[in-house]
Structure 1
């Protein structure tokens, strides 16, 4: 009897221990579903195209749905992941993303066929075609894609390493030091990343209408925080066989596999950010560079030379678009006085000179130099908490040199005021009003960066947001 009881007790003990062990393992792991649903009435008035009023999203915070998780690996080491998608809750559609760091799509389209050095080229077979973005990734317009963040990483005493798509170091100073963040008609991005931008929608990362925000295919490293100091460094792979006619010298019909004389690193991103956060004071500085293909390769030029005068070459061959390297540098600071939080940001964004290649009316090859452009932007902001209400105001201004020699610099300035009212820790009402003025050829466009608003370009624009934002 004793043996039977002992055996039964032993079996029950094993079951209990196994249950406890399993419970311990699961307790060390966690997965969370989180997000933001933000809806607003948005109205934008321009001086030349009337007023557009609509129900939109993401006026105070970007609407999103995400999954994040951690696993305790022991010894202070944790595994973690984040998968986060943007969404347009006013229509139910997902937000588009990009497959790589560049929207230039420097892969130059060609037809099938083969070409050998010294041979005559059929222009109907090989065309140095214009810019067809290879990484615009419009799948998000049809369904939800993890375009905001998608990474897996490890965190420990060494800091944190993330692999995948994440925010670029050069983005944060243009966001955290703005009382309106990255959203709505009041955001500083209307100037710093707006229509005066020296690269515009072709900038990388991320190669969309929201330039300089994220990088794909990246290794992102954060140091541990020591006495308030922390550093962040990122490298984004190019992953493109770029600026390439894919000419095959062995006679096969594969237009990509052989003979490709590409410019190395088109779409490659490198950035670093240094931060100090201690008590009421926050300081930060960042710099980053994205490489672009900036001239025609020798192999591509050889084909263009062959095609001059053959089969209406100039009619068959379009211009080859390029872009100069993009470099961003910015600093930011804030100080919380208790009764008010003051914010400051300053940045420069430069697109280097580059050369476009095409044909003139007579069919001759023509190289056109494009001068470098630099945008300088300054922003001042303040947030004043008053119980459940937070009052906000900001003033931003910027200038960019013209591509026309001797012309005045393009200039723009923006004034924004607003208020948030917290209904709870996770739900708020908000209202924002902003006015933007441009001159010397600049364009006034409100909230075209993160929310793609759309009235025709103008010299003066004003608008408001009234909305409700809920996080979970």
Structure 2
């Protein structure tokens, strides 16, 4: 009898242990290169760069099986500069992502923490900026639509649906965390995508109120959803919406993405947006309309080519700047985890009178003229 009870007890223990399986994965990506820019604030420049395509990062991703298709999940992801070893995203330990939540195979996932918004989640994969095929330097001017992930949303709660025969959708809300200021520096977004064979379509919306706001003394208000040390713009309200599609033809994929960004009520470029030139006032009303046509082709399993053209039609207090940017990249995989790449960007901007804005390729600085050329040779390693 005692043996029977012992066997039953041990069986229950092992069954519980097997039922509650958990895993933690260490992962990362390191992107290092040498970048030439013909005009950076009036001078040419050769510089060592980290994250010219994809931001260097390491992270921990984990899950625990709770049974019945339910899991506890978390991600902690650090961004860093490989050239000097410092943390990115304003010096945050886990500045790229930091969240915990529950995931269901039937209903989707709810997560809480520092997270990507719906524009990044749903539209980002359809553009070349923000992906391995172009990334940081292919961003639309000032990364005005956040497709390359210049900022994340703090204090956020996010829902992401399961995949229902190719249909996915989601929404996110970022709290201001301010007593008496519920709507001050909050953010919210929603998105949807549908995949049917070679076709992928998506749409998304994002809004933040008083993003990177300033108090009466002119200092940035801390603790909100989007803070001044990461946002390219300061505005009373920022709205982003857009849609896009990709279509695959064997080894080739072509795509189109449209986004519109509207800013009002006291608009300025932050030090992040001006890439080190300091805060620049832009007036009370700014709009960017971005039209991106892109394509990529795998010549061989190891060799890829990617290119895009982006036209940005802007409105800045009655001035109508127009940005034209052409981007090219080729990458060669030395293994499944390591590749070398060469990419270049050219931007030309017109109608900038009165704005003090020159051509601006993301990640390399602002030109003192209406033209800018940049080229990078680099290596990426994933682990």
Which category describes the TM-score, using the shorter chain as reference length?
Answer: 0.7 to 0.9
In structure 2, the residue matched to 1:160 is 109
Structure 1 residue 90: deviation in Å?
1.4
In structure 2, the residue matched to 1:235 is 173
Change (3 A) 1:94 1:465: same
In structure 2, the residue matched to 1:178 is 127
Which protein has greater RCO, CA pairs closer than 8 Å, 6+ apart?
Answer: 1
Structure 1 residue 446: deviation in Å?
1.6
When normalised by structure 1's length, the TM-score is 0.67
In structure 1, the residue matched to 2:185 is 267
Query: CA separation in 1, counterparts of 2:34 and 2:14?
Result: 52
Specify the SS of the correspondent of 1:175. Answer: helix
Structure 1 residue 178: deviation in Å?
2.4
CA contact (8 A) 2:358 2:369 kept: yes
In structure 2, the residue matched to 1:292 is 210
Specify the SS of the correspondent of 1:181. Answer: coil
In structure 2, the residue matched to 1:464 is 375
Query: CA separation in 1, counterparts of 2:46 and 2:120?
Result: 29
Higher deviation after alignment, 393-402 or 168-177: 168-177
Specify the SS of the correspondent of 1:176. Answer: helix
In structure 2, the residue matched to 1:443 is 358
For structure 1, list consecutive stretches of 5 or more residues without a partner in the other structure: 1-5, 97-137, 198-202, 242-261, 301-316, 357-368
Write out aligned runs for 1:57-456 (5 A).
Answer: 57-96=50-89, 138-140=90-92, 145-156=93-104, 157-172=106-121, 175-181=124-130, 187=136, 190-194=139-143, 197=144, 211=150, 213-241=151-179, 264-292=182-210, 323-354=235-266, 370-387=283-300, 388-403=302-317, 405=318, 407=319, 409-441=320-352, 442-448=357-363, 453-454=364-365
Query: CA separation in 2, counterparts of 1:188 and 1:375?
Result: 18
Change (3 A) 1:319 1:426: closer
CA contact (8 A) 1:185 1:447 kept: no
Specify the SS of the correspondent of 2:53. Answer: coil
Change (3 A) 1:457 1:355: closer
Query: CA separation in 2, counterparts of 1:231 and 1:468?
Result: 34
In structure 2, the residue matched to 1:112 is none
CA contact (8 A) 2:211 2:238 kept: no
Query: CA separation in 2, counterparts of 1:91 and 1:264?
Result: 39
CA contact (8 A) 1:39 1:90 kept: yes
Structure 1 residue 12: deviation in Å?
8.6
When normalised by structure 2's length, the TM-score is 0.81
CA contact (8 A) 2:33 2:49 kept: yes
For structure 2, list consecutive stretches of 5 or more residues without a partner in the other structure: 222-233, 269-281
Question: Superposition RMSD on alpha carbons, in Å?
Answer: 3.5
Alpha-carbon deviations, 1:140-168, whole Å to 9, x = none?
A: 3xxxx111111111111221101111110
Query: CA separation in 1, counterparts of 2:214 and 2:43?
Result: 43
Alpha-carbon deviations, 1:338-392, whole Å to 9, x = none?
A: 1410011101000124599xxxxxxxxxxxx954221101101110101110011
Query: CA separation in 2, counterparts of 1:319 and 1:19?
Result: 57
Query: CA separation in 2, counterparts of 1:13 and 1:173?
Result: 51
Structure 1 residue 454: deviation in Å?
3.8
Specify the SS of the correspondent of 2:325. Answer: strand
CA contact (8 A) 2:128 2:134 kept: no
> Larger Cα Rg: Structure 1 or Structure 2?
1
Change (3 A) 1:48 1:68: closer
Structure 1 residue 284: deviation in Å?
0.3
Query: CA separation in 2, counterparts of 1:31 and 1:401?
Result: 47
Query: CA separation in 2, counterparts of 1:52 and 1:461?
Result: 12
Query: CA separation in 2, counterparts of 1:91 and 1:394?
Result: 31
Structure 1 residue 277: deviation in Å?
1.3
Query: CA separation in 1, counterparts of 2:181 and 2:371?
Result: 41
CA contact (8 A) 2:40 2:365 kept: no
CA contact (8 A) 2:252 2:295 kept: yes
Which structure's residues are more often strand, by fraction? 2
Change (3 A) 1:277 1:71: same
Report the number of matched residues.
353
In structure 1, the residue matched to 2:279 is none
Higher deviation after alignment, 277-286 or 51-60: 51-60
CA contact (8 A) 2:247 2:255 kept: yes
